[in-house]
Structure formats: C-alpha cells, structure tokens
Amino acid sequence: ENADLLLAVADSAARERESGQGGLFGGEDTNADSLRMKEVDEWPRTDRMAKERENFGFYFSAHPVQQFWQVASANGARTYQSLMEAGAPPGGRQPAVMAAMVEKVNKGKTRKGKDFVRADFSDQTGQFSAACFEESLVEQFLRWAEDATCILLNVELDSPSPDEPPRITVRGARPLDEVKGGSRMVLTLELSDAAALHDLKMELGPGTPGHGEVLVRLRTGEAIEPQIRLGRDYALDGELAERLALIEGLDKVSLTTRKEGSHLRLVA
C-alpha cells in the first residue's frame, strides 16, 4: 500500500509540474497527512530477500551466510555460482562443500518408501535446489527451513547433460553456528598446461601441518595419468579454490574434507 501511495503522489506531482499548476508535492494546499506511511509488519527475512532478488537481480541486504563465510571458507565452502561455472565431470560425480541458507523444504518418499527432502537454498550468489536422501537429516531439514538456518553442506555434483548445470545432492549438513575452526582439507585438480604451475605455486601458501593436502593429476593423454601429492601442509580454503578455478590450465578444481588412507608418494 505504501508503494502504491508513493507512486500515486509521484504521478500527481509529475502531472502538476507539466501543467504548471503546483509544486513538487501539489503546492501549498497539499495535506501532509496524505504522505504519511502506514505501519506494516516487517517481511520475513526469506520473503524480503526473495523480493530483492526478483526486483534488483541481487540481494540488496547482506546475505545471512556472509556472517559465517570465514569459517565456511576455512572448511572448504565455495559459492553456488563458482561451482556452477566450474561444472562437474561428464558422467562422473564430484564432491564439494557449500554454505547456504535453507529457505524451503518439501518432504517426500522414494520408490522404496524411504523419506527424503528436496530443499531450496540460497547463498550470496544465487538460489538453488538440492535433494537429500539421508534419512537422519530429514527432520533436521524441516526445522532448519522453519528457522531459515544457515548450514554447511557436504554435497555431490553430477552432470547428466553437458547442456545443463550440475545437479546437487546433499550428503551431509550441519548449522554454521556450530562449526568451529577448519577441517583437514584436500585440494584436487588437473594440470593440463605446465605454464599454470607457476600460478599454482604463487597461490599455495603454508598452513597448519597436516591440514592441507594438494593432489595434482597430470593430463598427459596416456591411458593412465599420474597423480602426485605436492604436500599436506598448505593453507586451503574455499576462496583459494575459487581463484584456482579461474587459472587457465588448471581444471576440475575440487576442495573437500580429507579422508584418511591416502598412500601417494610425496613429490618435492
């Protein structure tokens, strides 16, 4: 109603200026009460952000995820836009970490009768949907949607069609306000141009010993392409992964929590 009032007053003022019959707001006879805004209930945060995105093409307010971004990045989180631009390996699956706000959840049943959810999320770069078939998370997702909770997501990307963006499947999740510090991370990528080694070296810096492993697969064109470990003591986070994904000659950049049991040879 307030928006309609402002539009009506502006339209009236424009007509009067064109006719020369009044001032900006209708001349001296304008009743100030006619411009008094009505008190209205504040929109829920998710509704307000949806309207901002719809009308402006971006979030006018700071996205709630941004207040957690430092710890999210330290745990390997990348933005939705970055992951979509990088894509997923054709015919394969790629793990990733994301940080997002839960906006809406629909509960359903699989063909085998198990509970699952399809949820709508958003981060500072866009909105997306993903399915979660982990039954232990179904009820939690329903609560998170009610509270618009910001969560850290362990996801899997797959690309059934090269003409479509990767699909996202949630494998794990926890509220960002419960996440402390950084995890042991592993960065994997493919090297298709030796010239990119210099840029990679410039980006990698020392971190907590044993908390940052870097694995590089060399694109040699052979049937079996070697993978080498550059080290385990690098400082790794989501922002680094996003920068590396932009370097020509570095492909399929992926940052995830590290699984134990790797036995690759250390290369100096």
CATH number at residue 97: 2.40.50.140
Both 167 and 203 in one domain: the answer is no
Determine the structural domain holding residue 162 and report its residue range: 65-178
Tens of pLDDT, residues 247-267: 999 998 988 887 655 444 444
Look at residues 152, 178, 204 and tell me which one is the last residue of a structural domain: 178
Both 101 and 169 in one domain: the answer is yes
Amino acid, single-letter form, for residue 252: K
Tens of pLDDT, residues 15-27: 777 776 555 455 5
pLDDT of residue 85: 87
Both 96 and 18 in one domain: the answer is no
pLDDT of residue 58: 56
Both 130 and 217 in one domain: the answer is no
Look at residues 156, 178, 200 and tell me which one is the last residue of a structural domain: 178
Both 155 and 189 in one domain: the answer is no
Both 189 and 158 in one domain: the answer is no
Tens of pLDDT, residues 60-104: 667 889 989 988 998 999 999 999 988 777 767 889 999 999 999
Look at residues 124, 157, 178 and tell me which one is the last residue of a structural domain: 178
pLDDT of residue 267: 41
Q: What is the DSSP string of 53-118?
A: HHHHSS-SSPPGGGGGHHHHHHTTEE-HHHHHHH---BTSEEEEEEEEEEEEEEEEE-TTS-EEEE
pLDDT mean over 104-127 = 93
Amino acid, single-letter form, for residue 186: V
Per-residue exposure over 51-89, b if at least 16 CB sit within 10 Å of its own CB, e if not: eebeeeeebeeebbbeebbebbbbbbbbbbebbbebbbe
Both 69 and 174 in one domain: the answer is yes
Phi-psi region of 251 (alpha: psi -120 to 50; beta: other; left: phi over 0): beta
Which residue's entry shows tokens 């309609």? Answer: 4
Which residue's entry shows tokens 């991370």? Answer: 185
Residue 182 has pLDDT above 80, yes or no: no
> What is the DSSP-derived secondary structure letter of residue 28?
T
60 occurs within a structural domain: no
